[in-house]
Structure formats: C-alpha cells, structure tokens
Amino acid sequence: ANIFSAVKGNKSVIVKIYRVNSCNFNKMFDYIKSDPRYATLQGKKRNIIFHWVQREYRNLMKARQAGVKVPTPITFKNHILVMEFIGGDEGAALMLKDDRPKDLEKFFNEIIKNMKRLYKAGLVHGDLSPFNILNFKEKPVLIDFSQCSSLRDSRAEEYLKRDVKNICDFF
C-alpha cells in the first residue's frame, strides 16, 4: 500500500491506498482464506483487495473498542482506508525500529498489555514487529491491522507465536 498524509477539515489524517494492480494478492488471500469471518469470500483479486481494506478497518475498530492503542479508523471505500494521523506538529510518529524508547522495559510492557487486550477481543495481530509499532510520545501505537485474524482462524496460534517472537527478539 501507499501511505499519504492529508487534511480533513482542520485535522491531519492518513490515507492508505492499496495498489490494485501490483499488490501481493497471494499473500493477502493466504491470510484471509483461513479467517472464518471471510469463509464465503471468492478468490477474485479485486474482491479480495476490497475485503482486505474492509478487514483492516473492522480490525482497527474492534481493537480500539478493546482499549488497544491503534489509529482511529475513519472510513474506507474499495481499496482506500482513511485513519487518524499519529503524530503532532513535529511530524508523524516514527516506527519503533527507527525510534527506540528511552525506557525499554516500560515500552515492552505496554506492548504486552496491548497484545493481551487484542487477544481478549478475539484477535491476533499476525504481523506485529518493530515495523508495525509506532513510538508516539514514548508509548506504543500498533498499526497495520490488515493481517490481523480472528482467534478462530486455524493459523491464529502460529500468528501469535510469531508476534511474540518478533517482539521478544527486538527487545
């Protein structure tokens, strides 16, 4: 996807546009086909991409309702998702890989709290890593929820173990 910042009213937003012609359709379908929430989805490329965006929007909503620190999703249509801009006057919050927090233990514990909240909400991120965590004012904000899957997904345990390994390896 391409990520852009934009202005809506007097607020900055993020616009995530999935490239319909060049996205990794096979990777998307691999994640979505085992998710029971999308069991009736047919394997047409355009249809998969549109559901992928809808999936990310819904996952963000559910995570947010569970108290997980994520960008607020605003709207979606077809292959475009609009969500809250995480940052301030100084610019966008940086990925954890590029902006190490001062108190690593505290930051790590906050990530674990967010992972537990996500799990209690019936979801597993599926691609959690220092690339998908922002450091915003020394607090983690989890991003990129398109791979996020239901715990009923047959591969949920595999995804959770990978998320835990990625985070532990980083810290």
Q: 35, 127, 153, 163: which one is catalytic?
A: 127
Give Cα 132 to chain centroid, integer Å.
Answer: 7
Give the three-class secondary structure for 92. strand
Nearest to 71 by CA among 140, 159, 147, 170: 140
Q: Give yes or no: 169 in active site.
A: no
Q: What's the rounded Cα separation, in Å, for the pair 102 and 151? A: 33
- Spatial strand order of the sheet with 94-95 comes to 94-95, 133-136, 139-142
- Cβ–Cβ under 8 Å, residues 138 and 102: yes
Question: CA distances (Å), 47 to each of 20, 53, 67, 80, in order?
Answer: 10, 10, 30, 13
Q: What's the rounded Cα separation, in Å, for the pair 5 and 13? A: 6
Q: Give yes or no: 127 in active site.
A: yes
Q: 144, 153, 163, 169: which one is catalytic?
A: 144
Residues with active-site annotation: 127, 144
